[in-house]
Structure 1
Amino acid sequence: MSKIAVIVTNYVEDIEYTSPVEALQAAGHEVVTIENEANNTFTGKNGGEFKADLGIADANPEDFDGLLVPGGFSPDILRADDRYVEFTRHFFLTNKAIFSICHGPQIFIQTGLTKGRRMTAYTSVVPDLYYAGAIVEDKPVVIDENLVTSRTPDDLDAFNKAIVETLN
């Protein structure tokens, strides 16, 4: 099965982290949570406490088959850190699986690789993607090759189904 990296930090939307991770694990995939430091505890927007498996300085994107970027305020924080941007850029450049929901695609903009890619995101992120050259669609899930994006927690069932199917 596949090994999936999850990049995340404080203020992640709890359910947008836990639900896809559970779906991936239930399908037999290995999920590795990456934060600033290994074993760091980070806190979700809704008060959940989670633990990182690996620190970004020790994370090699070559070791992973896919990337998950949950939403909340976490992606906005991560996109200000070049280590996470470069990590994300690797998945675009190698055409590996990339999954993101809600505010998650914010970090995609920093990679400079959104032009011409079909995707969706939370309402307030849509104009940013559009101005960065993405082709934005207002659907629960948008699939563009190995890039799977979704809008909100209301779309999690469809998103989780699509990410698992993409890896099969």
Structure 2
Amino acid sequence: MTNMTDAKILIMATNGFEQSELQTPLKELRDAGATVDIATPDGKAIKGWNESDWGESVEADLKISDVDVDDYICLVLPGGQINPDILRTDEKAVHTVRDFVAKDKIVAAICHAPWLLIEAGVVKGREMTSYHSIRTDLKNAGANVVDKEVAISNGIITSRSPEDLPAFVAKIIEEVKEGEHTRNVAA
């Protein structure tokens, strides 16, 4: 069992993150007592996408290349179409996702963010959901795709869209309180 005030959580994103999918978990996880850091490719502020136009900027705490996975219990990956598409081509970002899974850390991805899980090679055989337009990508990568607000498979949490944020954040908090999750890394 982990107390939320002892939990250190990482949000990894870049420009084009869906505004609510970063801001809501950031606020609610901090309100629950967790320490939450934001990692970006260059350690600088990033600009969100707010439904149909550019949104607000968010300050970064560190560069993705400076992340020490052992410092965190959980990784949160916001979606948006632009953000995960850029990050899945970033070797350091993909390596970070793979390390979180390999070290039995909780990983939570919403909307288009499961693209990063696919790129990291950690979806095969896992129950997952995502934004409807990338479900075929998940299926082709070997995931057992479902259409529900939250899917969880051995500490990997996925949700479909901003409408699922209440359930998504609640599941992150529940899993963090349970602690680290021993699991096999997908082939």
Q: Please tell me the TM-score bracket, short chain as reference.
A: over 0.9
Q: Aligned to 1:59, which of 30, 49, 67? A: 67
Per the TM alignment, residue 145 of structure 1 is displaced from its structure 2 partner at its CA by: 2.1
Partner SS for 1:125: helix
Aligned partner of 1:142 in structure 2 is: 151
Q: How does 1:1-168 map to 2 (within 5 A)?
A: 1-38=6-43, 40-46=44-50, 47-72=55-80, 73-168=82-177
Identical-pair percentage: 40
Partner SS for 2:17: coil
Per the TM alignment, residue 60 of structure 1 is displaced from its structure 2 partner at its CA by: 1.6
Q: Counterparts of 1:166 and 1:70 in 2: how far apart (Å)? A: 17
Q: Deviations over 1:137-157 (max 9, x none)?
A: 100011112111100001111
Q: Deviations over 1:57-106 (max 9, x none)?
A: 21121221110000002111001011000000011112210111101111
Per the TM alignment, residue 165 of structure 1 is displaced from its structure 2 partner at its CA by: 0.9
Give the partner amino acid of 1:135. Answer: N
Q: Counterparts of 2:8 and 2:126 in 1: how far apart (Å)? A: 24
Give the partner amino acid of 2:141. Answer: A
Structure 2 length as normaliser, TM-score? 0.87
Per the TM alignment, residue 37 of structure 1 is displaced from its structure 2 partner at its CA by: 2.2
Contact kept, 8 Å, 1:35 with 1:52, in 2: the verdict is: yes
Contact kept, 8 Å, 1:23 with 1:164, in 2: the verdict is: no
Q: Counterparts of 1:113 and 1:157 in 2: how far apart (Å)? A: 25
Over aligned residue pairs, what C-alpha RMSD do you find? 0.9
Q: Counterparts of 1:62 and 1:88 in 2: how far apart (Å)? A: 13
Partner SS for 2:133: coil
Per the TM alignment, residue 19 of structure 1 is displaced from its structure 2 partner at its CA by: 0.4
Aligned partner of 2:184 in structure 1 is: none
Give structure 2 stretches of 5+ with no counterpart: 1-5, 178-187
Aligned residues: 167
Give structure 1 stretches of 5+ with no counterpart: none
Structure 1 length as normaliser, TM-score? 0.96
